[in-house]
Homo-oligomer: A and B are copies of this chain.
Amino acid sequence: MSRIYLNAFDMACVGHQSAGLWRHPEDQGHRYTDVRHWVELAKLLDESGFDALFLADVLGVYDVYNRSRDAAVADAAQVPVNDPTLAVSAMAAATQRLGFGLTISLTYEQPYQLARRLSTLDHLTDGRVAWNIVTSYLESAARNLGLDGQIPHDERYEIAEEHVDVCYQLWESSWEDDAVVRDAERGVFTDPAKVHDINHKGKYFTVRGPHLCEPSPQRTPVLFQAGASPRGMKFAASHAEAVFVSGPSPSVVRKTVDRLRSAVAEQGRDPRSVKIFTMLTPITAETSEQAQTKLREYEELVSVPGAFALFGGWTGVDLAELDVDKPLTYADVDANRSALASFTTADRAWTPRELAGFVGLGGRGPVITGSPTEVADELERWVDEADVDGFNLAYVTTPGTFADFARWVIPELRRRGRVPEHTEPTTLRERLGFPSPRLAPPHPGAAYRRS
């Protein structure tokens, strides 16, 4: 019986992936500006057995639907959105075990500064931080950062390859393990002979070094990635230690998982060592009936324009031009067929309104509604059929969805041996099943380690 890993999926914003649900009287999403909100959430997740809090991010607004950002703004659909890294130390100070997965785009940052921020967080969290490597997908972000439009997709990944390579050098090879000696007698805090320049001169970056930070518990943070395109999957196969996937059914997700594990193996890495999380929204209560009642209550609050705004941002497809009740054809969305397919089972046609219902509550994954045993059964089915290692649990209301899951489902998963009874404080890398706090060969980052 394998362990099931659980991430709470959230974002430093009012409404992450449940369009319109901020109107629910119990939703606390609007408290995202309050440090106490994050401390309370972290404690809830830590005490109940979640493995990590995973925070998404964007650097622009969703303005594809109706060629306007109005729907996203009115519905607080991922706007306003604060920086995801800055509440982490408050949450770390209040917890001992919870990991923190942080989405940071490398497209608009220098590796020297980004590497320092992550090293600092790895120190402050005692080694509980992960970097979700993204290259940004919004045109609107590019126009906020001095560009006329996005850098072409595959070139973004070329930049990403060099960027992470610079980070590996800073994290793994600039400071030797025993560089810091703190020898008051000799008057040597750090042995200068054990701190090295990296002298990187590449196509996109020039960085002399040394790294500004002494070695942190994990050195390289745990590396998360979510690329679904062929180029994105190649990147994930080389670099990622955990990968996020999504799809509406185990069979759809299974195809992605099989391709991904093969790609990992082609890179000479153990395909089981990469933890794969699929997205899912759980709605649960003591009984099946109570859970179904909740679902209906939630469904009434979904905002169709808000859902279309999210869908437009993710896929580039503007549903405003289509009849909401007429089934979509691939011709409607020809420009972005694969993006649409990832939302649907692709075995039947969806109307825009049906899509809104899907996106509005679950984002890019399915909604699983039921009693604790029903939800646990369904999670186990997903693990078996889709061959995933765990779940990114999206919320309908926050912290309501997480609190319900913690109260009802995690105890059931414990009874089934899927979640451990007790977890020792360790680094996040160890918590995710890796044998050491550090990157290990054949991961490309480990190649920079000095023996």
Contacts and interface: CB of A to CB of B under 8 A. Distances in A.
B187 A74 contact: yes
A86 B20 contact: no
A208 interface: yes
A401 B386 CA distance: 59
Nearest to A77: B189
Given A14-B189, A124-B35, A212-B80, A145 B73 contact: no
Contact of A86 (B79, B88, B143, B146): B88
Given A86-B86, A191-B74, A192-B74, A108 B110 contact: yes
Interface in A84-107: 85-90, 92-94
A116 B109 CA distance: 14
Contacts of A213: 80-82
A146 B190 contact: no
Contacts of A290: none
Nearest to A182: B30
Given A23-B187, A109-B113, A79 B212 contact: yes
B209 A33 contact: no
Report how many copies the assembly holds: 2
Contacts of A208: 140, 143-144
A70 interface: yes
Nearest to A146: B206
Contacts of A34: 123-124
A189 B89 contact: no
A87 B124 contact: yes
Contact of A146 (B23, B39, B110): B110
A83 interface: yes
Interface residues on A, range: 35 or more
Contacts of A192: 68-70, 73-74
A377 B72 CA distance: 59
Contacts of A87: 89, 120, 124
Contacts of A22: 182, 184, 189
A112 B144 contact: yes
A70 B210 CA distance: 12
Contacts of A10: none
A93 B35 contact: yes
Contacts of A73: 189-192, 195
- Indicate the member of A35, A192, A206, A210 with the most B CB atoms within 10 Å: A35
Contacts of A25: 184
Contacts of A14: 189
A93 to B, nearest CB: 4
Given A86-B120, A192-B69, A214-B33, A20 B93 contact: no
A121 interface: yes
Interface in A424-451: none
A59 interface: yes
B187 A20 contact: yes
B93 A39 contact: yes
A68 B124 CA distance: 30
A196 to B, nearest CB: 11
Given A14-B189, A92-B35, A189-B14, A86 B117 contact: yes
A206 to B, nearest CB: 5
12 contacts: A33-B214, A34-B124, A35-B93, A59-B212, A60-B212, A61-B212, A73-B189, A76-B189, A86-B88, A87-B124, A90-B90, A93-B94
Given A59-B212, A87-B89, 10 more contacts: A22-B189, A23-B184, A30-B182, A60-B212, A82-B212, A82-B213, A83-B120, A90-B93, A93-B94, A144-B209
Interface of A: 12, 14-15, 20, 22-23, 25, 30, 33-36, 38-39, 59-61, 68-70, 73-76, 79-83, 85-90, 92-94, 108-110, 112-113, 116-117, 119-121, 123-125, 140, 143-147, 175, 180, 182, 184, 187-192, 195, 205-210, 212-214, 216, 303
